């Protein structure tokens, strides 16, 4: 298939106008020695029909869809109302560039402004940006931002923070003079406050806390905030399961200085891990060090309300190496989907969905907890995930469940050697009671 | 035209656009009280479904987009985004795949990734690719981290990164986050890297040169081999910003020009839609010596199946979660497979032809600072129109009245009052001519009626917006009390 719109006649006439006899001449500034001799070894062109066949064949090699899955761990299966798909797939949203020309981009800009408002409302903060790549890079950007704000060299990272977020923070910080120290978790799966207190000192730039944390447990943010602030550290709250904000007290109200996280739950498909949506919000006093694009309200010359990208003196295209982040392209269309999702669910729908997650998860935790040969590892307050510990090796249990057509959860040993035969189980509004009961029955058989 | 209110302004208590099935497990009234729960999300919207649909449909109509017409943003490669690629990315097998699924159940997703890596290696002449970076700037950061890791391994990470004055702002910013000091290299009178300046700057403290090729003027750095020799002779590396790769596919390969590390933008060269600012994808390609440092995980072919490999002791680590912007990669693969080798080459050839057609047609009407041959884009300036007090911004805004999207403005920084035009290969001659005609008329209007331009646009949903006030007294969210 070709997407060229020139006829042979067009090409000929245009080459003549340009003053060359053949298209190769247009590349005369390239030295011959570097020009490609022959063709690229790329498979021959496919028509639409052939392309369909190709991707359907490759798609069939994904057999995951045949299983009942309880996987979460930073990528959550949630209902996506069809209006999200129907509206977000409009070419007017899919095919513009970044809204650098506000007069012809008011749609995108107003939506970013609404998105920023929704994120502020959920996070309990003053300002939000137009998006970052994902939750992991959001956490890394927050750590860098805190360091710019107070110029202190140490950051406390909890072990209950998503392992991939921890790894990403480490990658971002390895070339800067920032020391990362780990804070452990207690027997409720929550941040170990004695560890936190031992780690906190006048050199601490920030304390990071994920809530609900990687084990699904809702943290006591207020207590952590008080301890961080008492030592002059900033408090960064990471929300990897954004749906929880529909029912849990906002991190802002509990003392967060920066709130960041993953917005995939707001209308984005699992998509094998992306594109997702990094969100970030903070108090307005930190605006000058805030990374990423921001839309703001203004007026046109006739006094009508309009929206523009603003405060770009923080950004790389103006400030170059002094910018607050190198980010340029972000996840705009994902933020748009989140906006449609949140406005469709609305106040009551979002709360209802979050409530159902808690109820189904608590039901699952209670039912699975009755099975002999396993125990619920942490006795805290789960949102939509919890950890099970098995008397048998997880590999054995996993294999037995797979035979029954179930992916029971994510084994934790690779990331947590201290939790060898444990698995993280996720239950959302997408799981019916009989799905949970089926998992309980299969576990019973596997462990008997 | 109806002024579309903010959703918060049409919200009313109790309205709903969504319901879940009734809870099928026991409900406990007091369960939520065990949690630090909120009683409400203050002022969160409550609207009906038809209100949501009309809200977004009306807002969509206030956007210009590639599906509507010519979008000549320089260095942004705003080509047509094939519809079929959207369908491929929405196939349930891909859209529904969980990234933590057991590897044997997601062989299809891994095949998409691996095959794309292999094709990008062939297209760019590099030895290995990572698809984890989510955008171009993210790729730059990843690439510079790879260079730093390699140098550290050899004993000295070095201190400086050289960047031409024509480069995108992301280059210095990415190098800075990587812990490097940035030193600017001048462009010569042809708009290319000044070899003498480079030779003088290149010391054993320099880790790398970041070079965009073709550069932001659309000029191919013809001395790229000599440039690489200068940098390599002092133990530094060549990082190529592949944002302008749309000029080169099937014509030449960065790997054959002694480039060590490159990022490309799938949302430019490989047609994945820009989405109003993202998501993109910024894969990074490397020569063999950098492969051990690539982000984890990497995907390995093991016979007929694919394995996910985390055992990479020299890896820089992760640069984001999971496997990158996977569904963007699906679209890019669909594009590469649709075009095939001949289609890919024709893509770059016609992109260059279209750009040269515009350049030739507007030469004389608009000032061209550099008369060096250009490839996929050309950079004019407002120098002639300035004589009538008309700036590049006025020209850009007036184009909106002609129903066209303006070019990139005020960039690159080495051209004052720049108008940077990249038509891409997908545009018809008719669309190119509409743009050329509009630009000529505007040039005439600059002489005849400069005020018409200075007050443009006249027919857009809003007129020129007050960006100064927006920045001085920022209103960054809606609140009930304004």
Which of the four pLDDT bands, split at 50, 70 and 90, describes residue B3?
confident
> Given its phi and psi angles, is residue A420 left (phi above 0), alpha (psi -120 to 50 degrees) or beta?
alpha
Taking CA atoms, A226 is separated from A196, A208, A220, A233, in Å, by: 11, 13, 11, 10
> Is A360 within 8 Å of B220 when comparing Cβ atoms?
no
Note whether B460 contacts A: Cβ–Cβ < 8 A: yes
Q: Is A190 a domain residue?
A: yes
The partner residue sitting opposite A270, judged by closest CB among B96, B318, B337, is: B96
CA of A370 vs chain B CAs: smallest distance (Å): 16
Which of the four pLDDT bands, split at 50, 70 and 90, describes residue B313?
very high
pLDDT at A357: 98
Helices vs strands, H then E, count in chain B? 15, 12
Task: Give the pair of three-digit tokens for residue A72.
Answer: 């979460």
Which of the four pLDDT bands, split at 50, 70 and 90, describes residue A317?
confident
Which of the four pLDDT bands, split at 50, 70 and 90, describes residue A177?
confident
Note whether B258 contacts A: Cβ–Cβ < 8 A: no
Q: Average of pLDDT values for B6-21? A: 96
> Is B465 within 8 Å of A221 when comparing Cβ atoms?
no
Closest CA to A254 of A239, A237, A230: A237
Per-residue burial over A75-108, b = 16 or more CB atoms within 10 Å of its CB, e = otherwise: bbbbbbbebbeebbebbbbbbbbbbbbbbbbbbb
User: Which residue would you say has higher pLDDT here, B139 or B481?
Assistant: B139
pLDDT at B187: 94
Number of domains chain A is built from: 2
Q: Is A397 a domain residue?
A: yes
pLDDT per residue as tens digits for the range A255-279? 999 999 999 999 999 999 999 999 9
Q: Give start and end residues of each alpha helix (H) in A300-431.
A: 316-319, 332-369, 394-403
Residues in chain A: 448
The partner residue sitting opposite A3, judged by closest CB among B27, B82, B141, is: B82
CB-CB neighbors (< 8 A) of A96 in chain B: 63-66, 71, 274-276
Q: Is A417 a domain residue?
A: yes
Instruction: Give the C-alpha separation, B423 to B189, whole Å.
Output: 25
Q: Which residues are within 8 A (CB) of A249 and not within 5 positions of it... i.e. 6 or more apart?
A: A124, A221, B36, B37, B38
Q: Which of A341, A362, A388 is the last residue of a domain?
A: A341
> Is A90 within 8 Å of B353 when comparing Cβ atoms?
no
What pTM does this model have? 0.98
For tokens 């960006």, name the residue: B467
Q: 381-410 in B: which are within 8 Å (CB) of A?
A: 396-397, 400, 405-406
Concatenating the DSSP letter of every residue in B440-458 gives HHHHHHHHH-HHHHHT--S
Q: What is the 3-state secondary structure (H, E, C) of B80-109?
A: CCCHHHHHHHHCHHHHCCCCCCCHHHEHHH
Search chain B and give the residue with CA nearest A249. B38
Note whether A369 contacts B: Cβ–Cβ < 8 A: no
Concatenating the DSSP letter of every residue in B309-321 gives E---TT----SSS
Range of the domain at A123: 82-341
> Is A110 within 8 Å of B321 when comparing Cβ atoms?
no
Q: Is the CATH number 3.30.450.20 carried by domain B84-338?
A: no
Q: Where are the domains of chain B?
A: 84-338, 344-468
Taking CA atoms, B287 is separated from B221, B230, B235, B258, B329, in Å, by: 20, 18, 15, 9, 21
Instruction: Give the C-alpha separation, A121 to A243, whole Å.
Output: 13
| Residue A322 pLDDT exceeds 90 | no
The DSSP call for residue B214 is S
| Residue B320 pLDDT exceeds 70 | yes
Instruction: Give the C-alpha separation, B428 to A302, whole Å.
Output: 36
Q: Is A225 a domain residue?
A: yes
pLDDT per residue as tens digits for the range A70-127? 999 999 999 999 999 999 999 999 999 999 999 999 999 999 999 999 999 999 999 9
Q: Give start and end residues of each alpha helix (H) in B379-473.
A: 383-386, 392-401, 429-448, 450-454, 467-472
**What count of CB pairs under 8 Å joins A to B?**
670
Are residues A309 and A187 part of one domain? Answer: yes
Q: How many CB atoms lie within 10 A of CB B414?
A: 19
Q: Which of A315, A341, A367 is the last residue of a domain?
A: A341
Domain B84-338 matches domain B344-468 at the CATH topology level: no
For tokens 């209308």, name the residue: A267
Instruction: Give the C-alpha separation, A163 to B460, whole Å.
Output: 48
Q: Average of pLDDT values for B150-156? A: 97
Q: Which of A286, A308, A341 is the last residue of a domain?
A: A341
Identify the architecture of domain B344-468 in CATH: Alpha-Beta Complex (3.90)
Largest CA-CA distance found in chain B, in angstroms, rounded:
77
> Is A110 within 8 Å of B4 when comparing Cβ atoms?
yes
For tokens 């984005």, name the residue: A268
Query: Mean pLDDT, chain B, as a whole number?
Result: 97
Q: At what angle do helices A332-369 and A433-447 cross, to 10 degrees?
A: 50
Percent of chain A with pLDDT over 90: 95
Concatenating the DSSP letter of every residue in B332-343 gives HHHHHHHHHHHH
pLDDT at A179: 96
Query: Mean pLDDT, chain A, as a whole number?
Result: 97
Q: Is A32 a domain residue?
A: no
pLDDT per residue as tens digits for the range B212-251? 999 999 999 999 999 999 999 999 999 999 999 999 999 9
pLDDT at B2: 56
Q: Is A46 a domain residue?
A: no
Q: Is A258 a domain residue?
A: yes
CA of A268 vs chain B CAs: smallest distance (Å): 9
Cβ burial of A368 (10 Å; 0-12, 13-18, 19+) is buried
CATH of the domain at A331: 3.40.640.10
Q: Which of A112-116, A173-177, B47-51 has the lowest mean pLDDT?
A: A173-177
pLDDT at A379: 87
């Amino acid at each position: 298939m070709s997407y060229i719109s020139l006829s042979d006649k067009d090409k000929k006439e245009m080459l003549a106008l340009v003053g060359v006899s053949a298209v190769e001449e247009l590349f005369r500034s390239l030295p011959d020695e570097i020009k490609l001799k022959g063709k690229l070894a790329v498979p021959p062109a496919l028509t639409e029909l052939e392309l369909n066949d190709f991707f359907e064949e490759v798609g069939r090699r994904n057999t995951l869809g045949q299983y009942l899955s309880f996987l979460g761990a930073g990528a959550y299966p949630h209902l996506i109302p069809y209006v999200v798909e129907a509206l977000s797939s409009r070419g007017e949203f899919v095919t513009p560039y970044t809204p650098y020309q506000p007069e012809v981009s008011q749609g995108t800009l107003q939506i970013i402004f609404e998105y920023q408002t929704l994120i502020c409302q959920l996070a309990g903060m003053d300002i939000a940006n137009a998006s970052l790549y994902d939750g992991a890079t959001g956490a890394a950007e927050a750590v860098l931002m805190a360091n710019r704000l107070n110029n202190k060299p140490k950051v406390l990272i909890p072990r209950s923070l998503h392992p991939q977020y921890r790894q990403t923070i480490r990658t971002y910080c390895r070339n800067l003079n920032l020391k990362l120290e780990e804070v452990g978790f207690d027997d409720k799966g929550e941040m170990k406050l004695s560890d936190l207190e031992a780690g906190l000192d006048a050199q601490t730039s920030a304390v990071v806390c994920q809530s609900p944390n990687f084990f699904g447990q809702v943290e006591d943010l207020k207590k952590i905030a008080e301890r961080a602030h008492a030592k002059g550290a900033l408090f960064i709250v990471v929300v990897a399961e954004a749906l929880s904000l529909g029912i849990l007290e906002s991190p802002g109200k509990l003392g967060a200085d920066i709130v960041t996280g993953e917005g995939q739950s707001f209308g984005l498909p699992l998509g094998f891990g992306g594109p997702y949506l990094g969100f970030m919000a903070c108090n307005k006093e930190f605006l000058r060090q805030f990374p990423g694009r921001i839309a703001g309200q203004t007026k046109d010359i006739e006094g009508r309300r309009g929206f523009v990208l603003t405060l770009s003196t923080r950004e790389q295209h103006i400030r170059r190496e002094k910018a607050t982040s190198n980010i340029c392209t972000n996840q705009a269309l994902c933020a748009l989907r989140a906006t449609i999702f949140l406005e469709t669910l609305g106040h009551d729908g979002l709360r209802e969905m979050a409530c159902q997650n808690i109820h189904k998860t608590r039901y699952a935790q209670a039912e699975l907890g009755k099975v002999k040969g396993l125990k619920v590892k942490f006795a805290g307050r789960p949102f939509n995930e919890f950890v099970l510990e098995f008397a048998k090796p997880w590999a054995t249990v996993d294999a037995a469940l797979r035979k029954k057509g179930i992916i029971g959860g994510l084994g934790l040993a690779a990331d947590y050697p201290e939790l060898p035969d444990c698995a993280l189980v996720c239950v959302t509004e997408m799981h019916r009671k009989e799905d949970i009961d089926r998992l309980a029955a299969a576990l019973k058989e596997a462990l008997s | 035209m109806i002024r579309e209110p903010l959703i918060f302004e049409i919200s009313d208590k109790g309205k709903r656009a969504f319901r879940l099935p009734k809870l099928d497990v026991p409900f406990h009234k007091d369960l939520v009280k065990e949690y630090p729960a909120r009683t409400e999300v203050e002022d969160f919207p409550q609207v009906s479904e038809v209100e949501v649909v009309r809200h977004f449909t009306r807002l969509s109509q206030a956007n210009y987009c590639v599906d509507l017409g010519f979008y000549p943003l320089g260095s942004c490669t705003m080509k047509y985004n094939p519809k079929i690629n959207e369908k491929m990315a929405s196939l349930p097998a891909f859209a529904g795949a969980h990234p933590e699924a057991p590897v044997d159940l997601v062989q299809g997703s891994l095949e998409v990734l691996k095959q794309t890596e292999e094709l990008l290696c062939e297209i760019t002449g590099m030895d290995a690719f990572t698809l984890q970076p989510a955008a171009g700037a993210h790729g730059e950061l990843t690439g510079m981290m790879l260079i730093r890791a390699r140098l550290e391994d050899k004993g000295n990470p070095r201190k400086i990164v050289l960047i031409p004055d024509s480069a995108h702002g992301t280059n210095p910013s990415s190098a800075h986050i990587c812990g490097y000091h940035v030193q600017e290299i001048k462009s010569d009178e042809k708009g290319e890297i000044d070899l003498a300046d480079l030779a003088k700057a290149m010391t054993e403290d320099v880790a790398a040169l970041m070079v965009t090729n073709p550069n932001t003027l659309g000029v191919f750095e013809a001395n790229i081999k000599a440039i690489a020799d200068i940098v390599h002779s002092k133990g530094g590396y060549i990082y190529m910003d592949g944002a302008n790769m749309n000029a080169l596919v099937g014509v030449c390969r960065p790997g054959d020009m002694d480039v060590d590390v490159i990022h490309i933008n799938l949302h430019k060269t490989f047609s994945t839609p820009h989405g109003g600012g993202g998501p993109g994808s910024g894969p990074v390609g490397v020569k063999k010596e950098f492969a051990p440092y690539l982000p984890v995980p990497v995907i390995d072919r093991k016979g007929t199946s694919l394995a996910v490999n985390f055992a990479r002791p020299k890896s820089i680590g992760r640069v984001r979660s999971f496997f990158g912007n996977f569904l963007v990669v699906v679209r890019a693969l669909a594009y590469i497979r649709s075009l095939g080798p001949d289609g890919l080459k024709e893509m770059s050839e016609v992109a260059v032809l279209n750009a040269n057609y515009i350049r030739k047609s507007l030469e004389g009407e608009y000032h061209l600072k550099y008369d060096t041959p250009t490839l996929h884009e050309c950079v004019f300036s407002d120098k002639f129109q300035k004589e009538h007090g008309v700036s590049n911004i006025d020209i850009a805004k007036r184009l909106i009245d002609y129903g066209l999207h303006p070019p990139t403005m005020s960039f690159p920084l080495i051209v004052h009052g720049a108008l940077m035009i990249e038509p891409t290969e997908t545009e018809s001659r008719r669309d190119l001519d509409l743009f050329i005609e509009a630009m000529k008329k505007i040039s005439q209007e600059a002489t005849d009626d400069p005020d018409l331009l200075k007050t443009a646009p006249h027919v857009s949903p809003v007129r020129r917006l007050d960006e100064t006030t927006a920045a001085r007294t920022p209103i960054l969210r809606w609140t009930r009390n304004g």
